Amino acid sequence: MSPTETAAVLEPLQEPRVSQAPPRPFRREVRWRALLAFAPAMVYLAVRNVGVIILMLLAGPNDTTAYRSLTAWDGQWYLGIASGGYQGAPDSLLDAHGNRTPQTPLAFFPGYPKLTGWVSDVTWLSVSTAAFLVSIAAGIAAAYALTRIGMLIKGGSRRAGLILVALFAASPMGVVLSMTYSESLFCAAAAWALVFVLRRQWLAAGIACAAAGLVRPTALALVVAVGMAALVCAITAHRRGGIRTALRPLAGALLAPLGLLGYLWWAGAQIRPGEGVFAQLAGWSALQERGWDSAFDGGVATLGFTGDAIAHSDSVHDIGTVLVLFAAVALVVIGFVRRVEWPLMLYGLGVLVMDLGSNGLMHSKARLLLPAFTLLIPIALGLAKRKPATTVLVLSAAAVLSGWFGAHALVAWGYAI
């Protein structure tokens, strides 16, 4: 065999050449995409850390600690229920009148404390550590949903979504997202439910809405928004393609209220045993009114509080709360004028109506507006069109102002939030 033929036979047996490394621009693009994937979490945590740092700075001069502040008020109820369940919550936990009955703990929905208890059992972490972990993880989950909402809305973009995340984390009482409170978990479930509505994924929207109904009574606004959107889609689908095309949105509409109605019925059965279903469904509201003077009065108490605050109050928290309420009403009008998708606006309007219409603790109204994150969409869309430097400056100022207001409410203000 000639040398040439021998080389031809042996050539396939040689080791393949090592491929060259991808060019540097390609590697930089991969790293940039990886960074973008973590951007919602990074933006959310950056803003919330500003708030926590300000709280730590103000806690010492007010003879308290950040930990004590972040687990205060309703946080103690959630930690107590997470530790011992509804029957084993510490006897030291009382309602607004200093009373306690076996039914009093039922005023707090089970989603957050139950999840906290499970995390504590699985990880062997303390209940308070598990509660903070749930709040942080839920806040990050909400951030990714809000980013997606910012990309799905008309005129939206990823930049608008990230700005929406920053605005949400810098809400006037955004400090609650870092507390052992249920707001972060509820906002995560609500935000993803609305993402699924925008995507027309009705089964997922119904399931997420049902999950939110186990966390906070604010889910009523979400049930209305998701249910209405699903029913409108079902009617349209039925007209165009028959009943089969309407089954998924109908299923989503039926799933949406199950969590809220399920807990209200179960709790009502403990509060009013032996009574009818409708009486039991109203039992939770009766418990709230009896223990915390919280009922729907159509806004009479809110109007009275607003008038007194404007005319007489010298409290920063009073004036700040009134300004937040005025801003929320203005944002509803702006949102409808800008034609933000109606299910998003219906949800935000529902949260606002529930807040303004309640005669409960007036100083909680800024906190109760936290789930109305869809009202921030017009601001996010406007800032997305500005120069990056302007956007960063505005968001930084919002983060600092939110951090101070929330910290002041916890360490300087002497009443429940």
CA distance 65 to 410: 10
Helix orientation angle between 316-337 and 388-411, rounded to the nearest 10 degrees: 140
Structural domain contains residue 155: yes
Structural domain contains residue 188: yes
Structural domain contains residue 240: no
Number of domains in the chain: 1
Sorted by sequence, the CB contacts under 8 Å of residue 73 that are 6+ apart come out as 416, 417
Range of 72's domain?
Answer: 43-199+296-411
Please tell me the predicted confidence (pLDDT) of residue 16.
47
Judge whether 381 and 156 are in contact, CB under 8 Å: yes
* Residues written for the chain: 417
With CA atoms as reference, report the closest residue to 113 among 208, 180, 190.
Answer: 180
Please tell me the predicted confidence (pLDDT) of residue 14.
46
Buried b (16+ CB within 10 A) or exposed e, 42-67: ebbbebbebbbebbeebbeeeebebe
Structural domain contains residue 171: yes
Please tell me the predicted confidence (pLDDT) of residue 26.
59
Please tell me the predicted confidence (pLDDT) of residue 28.
66
Structural domain contains residue 94: yes
Judge whether 198 and 152 are in contact, CB under 8 Å: yes
Please tell me the predicted confidence (pLDDT) of residue 21.
57
Please tell me the predicted confidence (pLDDT) of residue 416.
84
What phi and psi values does residue 358 have, to the nearest 5 degrees?
Answer: -90, 140
| Tokens at 61, concatenated | 């001069």
- Count CA within 13 A, CB hemisphere, residue 42: 6
| Tokens at 49, concatenated | 């850390």
Structural domain contains residue 67: yes
Sorted by sequence, the CB contacts under 8 Å of residue 269 that are 6+ apart come out as 280, 283
Judge whether 406 and 174 are in contact, CB under 8 Å: yes
Sorted by sequence, the CB contacts under 8 Å of residue 155 that are 6+ apart come out as 381
pLDDT tens string 217-250 = 999 999 999 999 999 999 998 888 777 888 999 9
Give the chain's end-to-end CA distance (angstroms, integer).
Answer: 93
What phi and psi values does residue 296 have, to the nearest 5 degrees?
Answer: -90, 120
- How deeply is 37 buried, as exposed, middle or buried, from its count of CB atoms within 10 A (0-12, 13-18, 19+)? exposed
CA distance 183 to 396: 23
Structural domain contains residue 267: no
CA distance 205 to 192: 7
Structural domain contains residue 79: yes
Please tell me the predicted confidence (pLDDT) of residue 33.
73
pLDDT tens-place values along the chain, 417 residues long: 454 544 444 344 444 454 555 666 656 666 667 778 899 999 999 999 999 999 999 999 999 999 999 999 999 999 999 999 999 999 999 999 999 999 999 999 999 999 999 999 999 999 999 999 999 999 999 999 999 999 999 999 999 999 999 999 999 999 999 999 999 999 999 999 999 999 999 999 999 999 999 999 999 999 999 999 999 999 998 888 777 888 999 999 999 999 999 999 999 999 999 899 999 999 999 999 999 989 999 999 999 999 999 999 888 899 999 999 999 999 999 999 999 999 999 999 999 999 999 998 898 999 999 999 999 999 999 999 999 999 999 999 999 999 999 999 999 988 888
